[in-house]
Structure 1
Amino acid sequence: MLRYALAAALGLAVVLSAGNSIDAQDKAKDKAKATTVEGKLVCTKCTLNETDKCAHAVKVKAGEKTLTYYIDSKEFHGAVCPAGNELAVKVTGTAGKDGDKLTITKAKVEKAK
């Protein structure tokens, strides 16, 4: 009986420590992808003509290239719609890719100073 109790306690300890290790790995992965970019906030429908509904993207100068990061925030929507309007912003979030598109999720958008 004591053997089974010890085996169960040991098994539970192994499961809990494995769970903590996985949580730590996930947090490290998120931190590694966290990024901040500064650029021009534009509407993906009105300005870029890429979507059927208004959504936002940030156009960032990288040397001679312009990178477009698609974000999951509609903050400052009125400032970038209709077409041709843009707003200088700083965006912080988790960088990634969706197919061949650059993305920033959990985006926090602030007007650039």
Structure 2
Amino acid sequence: MLRVLLMGVCIVGLLGVSHVLADDKAETKTLKGTLTCTKCALKETKACGHALIVKQDGKEIKYYLVDKGGKEPYHGAVCTEDKPATVTGKVVEKNNKRYIEAPKVEVQK
């Protein structure tokens, strides 16, 4: 019984380590596209947030920014009107969606 419990703890620990290592391998990228509000423009969320829509190979790819939403200094510029922007950060994929973690955002005027 004790062996089974210890094996279970070890397996859970290894899974946790592999998850952390996978996140460390997230690639930092600089992407250019259209920055938009996930609430006001996309109607996808209850609170304001941000997504960068990038055109690539004739398709639109949506990257959700992991940020403070409506509290970000650039939010006012994109809440009611989409703006061209450059975003740099770690790109990760979770639940079939792309996210940019720790984004550095430059909105073009």
TM-score after normalising by structure 2:
0.69
- The 5-angstrom pairing of residues 1-113 of structure 1 reads 30=24, 33-73=27-67, 74-82=72-80, 85-112=81-108
Q: CA deviation at 1:98?
A: 1.9
Q: Which amino acid aligns with 2:87?
A: V
The alignment's C-alpha RMSD in Å is 2.1
Q: Structure 1 CA distance, aligned partners of 2:108 and 2:79?
A: 18
Structure number with larger C-alpha Rg: 1
Structure with the higher fraction of residues in helix conformation: 1
Q: Structure 2 CA distance, aligned partners of 1:75 and 1:30?
A: 27
Secondary structure at the counterpart of residue 50 of structure 1: coil
For structure 2, the residue ranges without an aligned partner over 5 or more in a row are 1-19
Q: CA deviation at 1:30?
A: 4.1
Percent of aligned pairs with the same residue?
Answer: 41
Q: Structure 2 CA distance, aligned partners of 1:48 and 1:62?
A: 19
Q: CA deviation at 1:112?
A: 4.1
For structure 1, the residue ranges without an aligned partner over 5 or more in a row are 1-25
For residues 37-80 of structure 1, give each alpha carbon's deviation from its aligned partner in whole angstroms, at most 9, with x where no partner exists: 00010000000110000000000000210000000233411111
Q: How many residues align?
A: 85
TM-score after normalising by structure 1:
0.67
